[in-house]
Amino acid sequence: MRTFSLLATTAFTVLMGCSSITPKHHQQGHKMPYSDSDFNSIKRQFISQDIDTIDVLSNTQKHISRIAALATQQALPQLEQEIMTALNNGVAPTDIKETLYITAPFIGFPKTENSLATAYLAFKKAGVEWPVDQQERASDRYEKGLAIQFPIYGNAIKDAYADYPQPYNEKIPTLLTELLFGDIYSRSGTSLQNRELAVFIILASLGADRQLASHVRGNLKVGNSKQVLVGALVHCLPIIGFPAMFNALDDVKREEIAASP
């Protein structure tokens, strides 16, 4: 627990540009240092009246999409509030935790640790117990990962790096299979559809168009419809902005055209 507390304090300090955080401030969690009423009015009305009234996604899909986007951008005060809202709206704690776990292969461990620390504070403030399910790292994580990866993505990564110098031609695809699929996708706690949707939003938030196209196909293969993908992007628009949303929508459209007979 002390690790979460230290990480959260550090994240707050860096984000807000504060030189020090007292225990009292830390207990209050992430709090914006000022409030602009005009901007807040624009934001609130856009989200509540223009975005949230579009009723396409399930409650869980909407919240895990926003959590994935906020964690990717390291918008920690907003992430804390979104997690509290998700919990209050009945999203399962494990869905939230696993959404944050899956960010690690895409944004790196330090940022994911910051997000987990923020989530721990949000859970505490919401009066919800942090889900501790000690899932052991599988000794056959490569085999387990490949069993999940191959039906969705085939050998695309392995083939892409086949002509790289040894040992990286084999090691890079193996690292991806073991970490993303063997360590994370194989965990219990949320569905394959939720994981793929979170990854789609993570990549859209990063502007990673090359990787995004393959994960559009991956989402469609695991059962997330085009309507779900577009809906997730629209619900994340206040977080990722129009350019990122438009780029991702273009990828969805291209995959739809490619799949047409």
Are 72 and 117 contained in the same domain?
A: yes
Q: Which residue is it, tokens 């790196």?
A: 108
Are 122 and 216 contained in the same domain?
A: yes
Give 3-state DSSP helix, strand, coil % of the chain, rounded to 5.
Answer: 75, 0, 25
Query: According to the model, what pLDDT value does residue 19 have?
Result: 31
CA distance 170 to 27: 47
Query: According to the model, what pLDDT value does residue 22 have?
Result: 31
Number of domains comprising the chain: 2
pTM for the model stands at: 0.85
pLDDT in tens, the chain (261 residues): 444 444 444 333 333 333 333 333 334 456 666 789 999 999 999 999 999 998 889 999 999 999 999 999 999 999 999 999 999 999 999 999 999 999 999 999 999 999 999 999 999 999 999 998 777 777 899 999 999 999 999 999 999 999 999 999 999 999 999 999 999 999 999 999 999 999 999 999 999 998 999 999 999 999 999 999 999 999 999 999 999 999 999 999 988 766 655
Closest CA to 23 of 8, 41, 38, 45: 8
Range of the domain at 146: 136-186
Q: Supply the DSSP symbol for 256.
A: H
Looking up residue 122, the CATH number of its domain turns out to be 1.20.1290.10
Query: According to the model, what pLDDT value does residue 257 have?
Result: 66
Are 151 and 216 contained in the same domain?
A: no
Are 56 and 115 contained in the same domain?
A: yes
Are 120 and 145 contained in the same domain?
A: no
Are 125 and 198 contained in the same domain?
A: yes
Are 114 and 165 contained in the same domain?
A: no
Helix (H) or strand (E) holding 87, with range, is helix 76-88
Are 109 and 197 contained in the same domain?
A: yes
CB distance 201 to 65 below 8 Å = yes
Are 196 and 123 contained in the same domain?
A: yes
Instruction: Report how far apart, in Å, the C-alpha atoms of 173 and of each of 40, 170, 179, 204 are.
Output: 45, 6, 10, 22
